[in-house]
Amino acid sequence: MLQRLSLWDRAAGALALAALPLHVWMLVAHAHGLLLGAAIGAMVLACTVCGVHVLRGTSGCRALQQLQAMAVLMVLAHAVMTAGLPGVGLGGGGHDHAGRGAVVGNALAADGAMLMIMGVELAVAMCAGLALSRRRRLGLG
Q: Per residue in 59-73, pLDDT tens?
A: 778 889 999 999 999
Q: How many whole angstroms separate alpha carbon 82 and alpha carbon 139? A: 40
Q: Per residue in 87-124, pLDDT tens?
A: 554 544 444 444 444 445 555 566 777 888 899 999 99
| CA atoms lying within 13 Å on the CB side of residue 7 | 0
CA triple 73-77-79, angle to 5 deg: 115
Q: Per residue in 36-46, pLDDT tens?
A: 788 888 888 88
pLDDT of residue 94: 43
Enter the pTM of the model: 0.76
Q: Per residue in 5-18, pLDDT tens?
A: 889 999 999 999 99
Burial of 47 (0-12, 13-18, 19+ CB in 10 A): buried
